[in-house]
A and B are shown apart, each in its own frame.
Chain A
């Protein structure tokens, strides 16, 4: 994957948002973890700091040799993680074992009406961001997309792959596939779930942004808003999807201010939130400062992990589905 072709230019190091955070310099860096260490039989000794990566793909985008650095880091995690005992990761695995989701479920508005579309909000959307899920569901209904939200749908398994729990992720996939078999269409709000369903399950899941891009929408918000372009949407799913987020919002009449910081990882992905909460918080904190300095009302994103991590910094953070409403609702 990355065993040849590295020209040691350091582009990945300069692109890494963890390394440039005051709380992230313990991370050995994408070159060490993704390129150098995997070549050696002793790679298992790298230890827990190898997991201090948000899987934001910034290194991979910067690599002039086209190396799949993120994939290589994920593969190393699969080898290293089973020997590690990061409390947050253990807690997440325990949650999945006991109730099938990475975090506690707070959502109660299940819709199991035999519709042909399933809305799959993901663990964060069914947990701390349950209100976002309710709003997103109403938006889908207003757009004429009748859908179920199934209590039988469990974690997609993406967070477990990030901590090397491959067998557990596979088991979740089997459970979910039984549920998904009843539906023709799957809509997601989390880019991580979308990627997992598409690439691992082979299910053609649509991210909310992709659903909204062809719709007539109107802004629900006032004042100037900044963006948080989710890494797993832009660099994971497709850069066009990130551009679609901008078009959906500007098309609806949301007053968007484009800031350089919008493209920078918030620290919420790749198991960082659970495994290294101080680093995740520090990255979000520094981003939040930049947003505040720009004097915006808040930030609009399209990823529950971004919304959760930035929201903890006291910023107003909305999911795209909370920022717009269907034209006919007026």
Chain B
């Protein structure tokens, strides 16, 4: 059986790889650069309708458990953040709203501004106290640099214990491997510990690390740091791909293809002037000027050739696929749904 080539190692690419690998397909995922899912909040704003149970199985992680339902958290600006799925320390359910919050930040570090958040929470009727801990860490350096040893954590625990009760809100900087620290801090201080919901930081990266680990467990091979530079399509099917990594270039046979390259980024859909373009010049791209809605035309998940015919063995998923309408924060649910549709299309073909 020839390999399924998944182009793009973001949420859509990894979820489709997991689904395919679990069904026994040999899967190679090619991707380079941090995908947008790793820059997300690590939460899903809504349930991915068609495949939410599969998505939950995919995201199951003992070290960083996910919670679902009507969830609310506090964004890193203090505003409310509502979602359907989040890591357990990011949000609360309908009954669990905090009465009062201690907002922990680090002096001079932009990870969390305790005064700003406390003020915003105050306006929302939540009693909040800022707690700014001393730090000389330069603003560009991730906060993990402060927490290399037990002593640093003990220090935070001691400072937190000195404050009045209530929930503790921390900046979100922990990796997947260190997520257990939040449970530790809860036990140590006897307080509920929440992470501020933060994009462009650790939570998105954590989610992606989890997704990668799950795809690998299922048997997918991940070709990191490599890009697909060209594809050949013959008689309505994708046949070969050229993959580049460092100084090396390889050609591979392709049994089936999932295109999940993301939106208009360097390694994703190309931009030709102000118009979206397929960098492989193989597939049809729809563009009415709204580049945020993606570009690849699909029919029931399968990609369409430039001449308008459905490509037998190629499907599209995620931000690169044209979505009829995609609201703010809809990227991740859309990635899951479109990956599900793509896999169904390939397996039905």
Contact = CB atoms under 8 A, between A and B. Distances in A.
A308 interface: no
Interface stretch (A13-21, A90-98, A218-226, A249-257): A13-21
A20 B247 contact: no
A258 B226 CA distance: 21
B32 interface: yes
Contact of A64 (B35, B138, B225, B226): B35
A198 interface: yes
A235 B246 contact: yes
Contacts of A234: 225, 246
A199 interface: yes
B39 A19 contact: no
A237 B225 CA distance: 11
A61 B222 CA distance: 14
B140 A31 contact: yes
Interface residues of A, number: 32
A260 B141 CA distance: 22
Interface in A188-245: 195, 198-199, 234-241
Contact of A199 (B38, B144, B225, B247): B247
Nearest to A11: B34
Contacts of B34: 9, 11, 62-64
A68 to B, nearest CB: 11
Contacts of A29: 140-141
B145 interface: yes
B50 interface: no
A10 B246 contact: no
A64 B37 CA distance: 11
B97 interface: no
A85 interface: no
B224 interface: yes
Nearest to B224: A239
A239 B33 contact: no
A198 B247 contact: yes
A108 interface: no
Interface in B214-246: 223-226, 245-246
A19 B142 contact: yes
A66 B246 contact: no
Contacts of A114: none
Contacts of B32: 61, 66
Q: Interface of chain A, helix or strand or loop or mixed?
A: helix
Nearest to A5: B266
B133 interface: no
Contacts of A195: 247
B36 interface: yes
A61 B224 contact: yes
A204 to B, nearest CB: 10
A199 B246 CA distance: 11
Given A11-B39, A195-B247, A61 B140 contact: no
Contacts of B148: 22
Contacts of B266: 5, 64-66
A22 B145 contact: yes
A64 B144 contact: no
Nearest to B32: A61
A20 B246 contact: no
A9 B200 contact: yes
B274 interface: no
A85 to B, nearest CB: 24
A159 B85 CA distance: 49
A31 B142 CA distance: 13
Contacts of B265: 64-66
Interface in B119-159: 137-138, 140-142, 144-145, 148
Interface in A48-62: 61-62
B337 interface: no
A28 interface: yes
B82 interface: no
B27 to A, nearest CB: 16
Given A11-B34, A66-B266, A19 B145 contact: yes
A32 interface: yes
In the A-B complex, list the 8 residue pairs whose CB atoms are closest, starting with the nearest: A66-B266, A238-B248, A11-B34, A238-B246, A64-B33, A239-B245, A64-B34, A239-B225
10 contacts: A5-B266, A11-B205, A14-B142, A14-B202, A25-B145, A29-B141, A63-B34, A65-B265, A66-B266, A239-B224
